[in-house]
Structure 1
Amino acid sequence: MIRKLLISAILAGGFALAAHAQQTGLVTLETRQDSQGWEAVGRLDIRGKGFCTAALIQDRLILTAAHCLYDIDGSMVAPDRFTFQAGLRSGQAQTTRLITRTVAHPDYVHTGQATNAREVAIDIAVLELDRPIRNTRMQPYRIAQRPITGDQVGVVSYGRGREEAASLQQVCDVLGRQTGVIVMTCDVEYGSSGSPVFMMDNGETRIASVVSAMAHINGQKVALGTSLEGPLNALLSHFATLGPARPGGTQRLINADERNDTGAKFIRP
């Protein structure tokens, strides 16, 4: 799943797109050599609904978009409907795990068919695996500092028409960011929600954002992502306060009073 922007202006007030450099196209990760370093990205299957993309950030924790936790009718998807297929290529996963608990950002409010930029800015969730992944080829990713306008990033994603193997776009550009939303030229598609956006940090590949939605701004197709630093710290702090997974496995807190409508409207496919 991925959400699609209905209007051209994503953020209210003075947002301008920077010029961008040459970006690379999508490359399908079909072989073990192609997939080296990307094995901890996987397809997050949701029985009866579709799929998103997720990435390993701890040996028992994966990161994805919060809206992936919700069904078409707005109810939360039961954890036992999720399956994480890490390193899936040619229809075969290197490692498969079930999910015991799903936890959205504590301030995330799911609005169904309409949302705003503030929601995109905290559209993240962690899912607890039934067993840890401990594999020398499948190391959890660390988190990068938030990207700024002009930075180059990359994205690994699954999507409609490319469900059986991940695709890598090695170079796309950060066009701007505002209100916690990062606007990028990355090529995303339905199914790319939750895809990790990467940056290099002293030679190490780290996650800098998570894909939330796709949009058109001034006629240009763009991807919208979350600025991870603050939101992810809040999410992991919230997760740390929870006890053992309860029956049903879903955790969410809502602060409806803190919502701020900026006018951006989205729909879910």
Structure 2
Amino acid sequence: MSWRALILGGAMLAYAGSALAQGTGLRRLTDRDDLFGWEAVGRLELNGQGYCTGTLIAPELVLTAAHCVYGKDDKLRPAEQIRFRAGLRDGVAVADRQALQIAAHPGYDPRRRLNMENIRHDVALIRLAEPILSSQANAFALHSGEEYGSGISVTSYGKGRDEALSRQRQCNLMGEHRDVLMIDCNVTFGSSGAPVFSQVGGRGRILSLVSGGGSFRGKQVAFGMKLPQRVAELKAQLRRNPAAAPDRRIKRIRVGGGASAGGAKFVSVGD
């Protein structure tokens, strides 16, 4: 079966939520010691309209999926409607920050289904109103090169496990085509934007982000994209359109905080 048939075949890629949620190998990061080293992965609160997973790649930059930052009207959400709660665990976050600026990759079209082209560009950067110190959450670096190491893993929030991070230490790369990766990681609604890590040398590096999911040859899979070029383009976009930090004398109204799983979260390919 060709990749084009795989991506565009709506029946083949109809999302099966229960199947994706039934995989094994997930471990809840319940205790503070469990969370140590993973605090930079957090939950993106979307103004009570759902949530996604995001990851710090710099003290003030959060990486997530582009479809997470669009509303139901296919327009970018106002930055004030997004909050990043780093290392959220049972209602307590290591750090809680308001979004200041959003850059979604221009190659992603929110009006179209998640076909191959949209998966490849389903990347967004969020600049935070205030940085998160490395002593609170140490940002992750991006993977570079063709060698993915001995293990691929995913760390995410998701429906039924949205109060704490869950980590799958081992999943497999099932295929790769034109910068789109197919991985058998256990993901579900809310896992959109979750980091897929490669293990090369020491600390894991972000290889991809969860974009959507479906089935291939009887297995439930997640789709993601290669990141370095996309992220570089998004950083340039943020530099071209700088946003002023809010006046610290003005008390900002806290928005979001809802843990509803009813908004833009995990969008499956072919829906």
Shorter-chain TM-score tier: 0.7 to 0.9
Residue in 2 that maps onto 1:89: 89
Q: CA RMSD in A?
A: 2.4
Q: Secondary structure at the match of 1:235?
A: helix
Residue in 2 that maps onto 1:19: none
2:188 corresponds to 1:189: yes
Larger strand fraction of residues: 1
Q: Secondary structure at the match of 2:162?
A: strand
Residue type matched to 2:45 in 1? D
TM-score, normalization: structure 2?
0.80
Unaligned runs of 5+ in 1: 1-6, 13-22, 248-263
Residue in 1 that maps onto 2:14: none
Whether the 8 Å CA contact 1:86–1:95 is kept in 2: the answer is yes
Residue in 2 that maps onto 1:71: 71
Whether the 8 Å CA contact 1:146–1:228 is kept in 2: the answer is no
Whether the 8 Å CA contact 1:28–1:167 is kept in 2: the answer is yes
Q: 1:138 to 1:57 in 2, by over 3 A?
A: same
Whether the 8 Å CA contact 1:118–1:180 is kept in 2: the answer is no
Q: 2: distance between equivalents of 1:79 and 1:116?
A: 27
Q: Secondary structure at the match of 1:162?
A: coil
Deviation of 1:110 (Å): 1.4
Q: 1: distance between equivalents of 2:269 and 2:37?
A: 36
Q: Secondary structure at the match of 2:53?
A: strand
Residue in 1 that maps onto 2:220: 221
Residue in 1 that maps onto 2:122: 123
Q: 2: distance between equivalents of 1:146 and 1:215?
A: 27
Q: Which deviates further from its counterpart, 67-76 or 45-54? A: 67-76
Q: 2: distance between equivalents of 1:169 and 1:8?
A: 29
Q: 1:146 to 1:111 in 2, by over 3 A?
A: farther
Q: Which deviates further from its counterpart, 134-143 or 183-192? A: 134-143
Residue type matched to 1:80 in 2? E
Residue in 2 that maps onto 1:255: none
Deviation of 1:135 (Å): 3.4
Q: 2: distance between equivalents of 1:26 and 1:73?
A: 34
Q: Secondary structure at the match of 1:135?
A: coil
Sequence identity, in percent?
37
Whether the 8 Å CA contact 2:90–2:164 is kept in 1: the answer is yes
Q: Secondary structure at the match of 1:164?
A: coil
Residue in 2 that maps onto 1:154: 153
Q: Secondary structure at the match of 1:163?
A: coil
**Pairing 1:196-215 to 2, within 5 Å after superposition:** 196-215=195-214
Q: 2: distance between equivalents of 1:151 and 1:228?
A: 19
Whether the 8 Å CA contact 1:208–1:228 is kept in 2: the answer is yes
Deviation of 1:198 (Å): 0.8
Whether the 8 Å CA contact 2:44–2:85 is kept in 1: the answer is yes
Deviation of 1:245 (Å): 4.5
Whether the 8 Å CA contact 1:147–1:208 is kept in 2: the answer is no
Q: 1: distance between equivalents of 2:147 and 2:115?
A: 21
Q: 2: distance between equivalents of 1:216 and 1:50?
A: 24
Q: 1: distance between equivalents of 2:242 and 2:149?
A: 41
Unaligned runs of 5+ in 2: 10-22, 247-267
Q: 2: distance between equivalents of 1:150 and 1:131?
A: 34
Deviation of 1:229 (Å): 2.0
2:265 corresponds to 1:266: no
Q: Secondary structure at the match of 1:239?
A: helix
Q: 1: distance between equivalents of 2:224 and 2:244?
A: 28
Deviation of 1:120 (Å): 0.3
Deviation of 1:246 (Å): 9.4
Q: Which deviates further from its counterpart, 143-152 or 37-46? A: 143-152
Whether the 8 Å CA contact 2:100–2:243 is kept in 1: the answer is no
TM-score, normalization: structure 1?
0.80
Residue in 2 that maps onto 1:46: 46
